[in-house]
Amino acid sequence: MRSLFERFRAHRLASVFVLLATLSAAIVAGSFAAHGVRGQEKQNDSSDATPIKVVNSTVPPNEFVKIAKMVGPAVVNINTQTFPKQSSKRRFHGRTMQPTPQGPDDNGGDDEQQGPDNFQDFFNRFFGGQMPDQGDQGQGVQESLGSGFIVDPKGYIITNNHVVEKADKIYVKLSTDPDTQDLGRPARVIGTDKATDLAVIKIDTNTPLPTVKLGNSDLAQVGDWVEAIGSPFALSQSVTAGIISAKNRTIQPGAAGQFQHFIQTDAAINPGNSGGPLLNMNGDVIGVNTAIFTQSAGYEGIGFAMPSNTVAKVYNDLIGPSHKVVRGSIGIQFREGLSGAVNRVYGFKNGVLVQQVTPGGPADKAGLKAGDIITTIDGRGIKDGDDLVTEIASRRPGSTARIGFMRDGKPQDTTVTIGDRDKVFADLTGQQSNVEPEEPGNAGEAKLGIVVREASPSITAKLHMPGMVIQSVRTGSFADLQELAPGLVIIRINKQPTGTKAEFDAVVSKLKSGDDVVFEVMDPRRPNDGINYIGGTLQ
């Protein structure tokens, strides 16, 4: 006798077969009804069908619509072209010369010991902007895209540094420009800041351009609605919306991320959105869309925008006479994330344990030593390394600060004179060990983007010829594009000797846009490598 389960199972299978048979019969019957007997088609009669009409029901515009209409005209599409160049590793008679590191991007900083510097690679692979460097393996002109927004009716535009950093030519297209205009209006770089990945570019205009307003990013709250506008995948004027997911996000460890405290959002941003605005519900820019976290090279709900309060400070510095961001430094290094054991043994909860003091730097001159614990600045308590960096970096070089610290369990204090961060850490790496302070009015600064001085007798003796030592290279300048670096010595330009400042100024003063410029340079650290020839066309 079959069990109850077996009978139920048999009954269920039988029901399935009946259902399938019924469906098959219905399909066959429907086929015959549609086609008639022997495949003859039956004439379709739709005389009883009623045509549909579009209903003119007006939906009141929401805030996103209003913001898109208000801000959209000030958001621009940025196209760049990068021409084939030599590899970034310069060959000196069979040997490879790595460009000299510059400033805190490659060195520890007030600050903190340096971790792996892969931030730029993060942008290249995951956000758009410039494509990864593919060397000089026969590559043609590389074209990239990004976004930006106009903040001054005279044509000043904010975008990301990684959008324009490697570009030889930059073009900007407004929302009102005709589609027939291939790339857009020529633009030039006013200034860039790698530490925050921000850049200011400018286009010429005869009429005032529409602009946006920067809002106070400190007032934004987690959960607030935000709107992003940009050109993802070259689709200009794309609008997406989301909320603020978090604030004060640091996505790059170590010194590379010291000035990068992002707003996190789930507003959809993709390759090409880079440099575009993140807006609050008042239509004010509260961030510059900078990066996304992704494992698919596309949107996965986690985007990062540089806060507008940081953007405003950087912008105001970049449009200044020096076209650079000057940050304060006291010349120390420390490590974040110390274990609780370290804190207990050294007897502190809040503060910064000094790990290294730059010889001859501001902190060294003020008497600070490794092992000291910085607890206050001008009487205000210091919570951690980020707090210290923010406080010191915001101060102008030459100003003073009262530093409170603990040494061997006893409180002490000292007055330190704030230094220029770039110079302090150039000294740390020995970049300026053979040179003297910069001389004002350098002829090469405006045209080439470099500051030079005459080589010292010791360097001249090493090279067996005079030349001009490069002291600094402005980011995005002609010299930077040719990958000249501080410490190299320019022997000749276009076959003309540059052994003295007068000779250098005379050669450079004659250069004009469109000229081919060839530098003959030597590295005093490796004088036996001989002369290297580096050249390009001055834009």
- By C-alpha distance, which of 498, 482, 480, 426 is closest to 90? 482
Which residues 6+ apart lie within 8 Å of 335 measured at CB? 112, 113, 353, 355
According to the model, what pLDDT value does residue 344 have?
78
- Is the Cβ–Cβ distance between 265 and 244 less than 8 Å? yes
The reply to whether 197 belongs to the active site is: yes
Beta bridge partners of 136: none
Task: Tell me the pLDDT tens digit for each residue of 352-370.
Answer: 888 888 888 899 999 999 8
Q: pLDDT, tens digit, for every residue of 286-319?
A: 999 998 887 776 777 889 999 999 999 999 999 9
pLDDT score recorded for residue 126: 40
pLDDT given for residue 183 in this prediction: 78
For the question of residue 162 being annotated catalytic, the response is yes
Average pLDDT taken over every residue of the chain: 78
pLDDT along the chain (539 residues), means of 10: 47 45 46 49 82 87 90 92 58 32 33 37 40 46 86 96 89 84 85 93 94 95 94 84 92 72 90 91 95 76 92 94 89 77 77 87 92 92 87 90 91 92 66 40 76 88 90 83 89 91 90 87 86 84
Out of 274, 308, 329, 472, pick the active-site residue.
Answer: 274
Amino acid identity of residue 459, one-letter, is I
Query: From start to end of 334-377, where are the E strands?
Result: 352-353, 356-357, 373-377
Instruction: Give the 3-state secondary structure of residue 279.
Output: strand
CB 386 within 8 Å of CB 366: no
Choose the catalytic residue: 110, 111, 147, 162.
162
Closest CA to 476 of 448, 505, 508: 448
Backbone angles phi, psi at 500, to 5 degrees: -125, 165
Rounded CA-CA distance 328/298 in Å is: 37
The Cα 253–Cα 416 span in angstroms is 28
Q: Cβ distance 183 to 79 under 8 Å?
A: yes
Q: What is the pLDDT of residue 104?
A: 28
For residues 133 and 181, give the distance between their C-alpha atoms in angstroms, rounded to a whole number.
28
Closest by CA to 362, choosing from 423, 416, 406, is: 416
CA dihedral 187, 193, 195, 198 (to 10 degrees): -40
Nearest alpha-carbon partner for 284 in 237, 192, 219: 219
pLDDT at residue 41, rounded to an integer = 57
Identify the pLDDT of residue 444: 78
Known catalytic residue at 238: no
Show the beta-strand stretches assigned E in 378-467: 380-381, 400-407, 410-417, 419-420, 450-454
- The set of residues, in sequence order, having a beta carbon less than 8 Å from that of 94 and lying 6+ positions away, is none
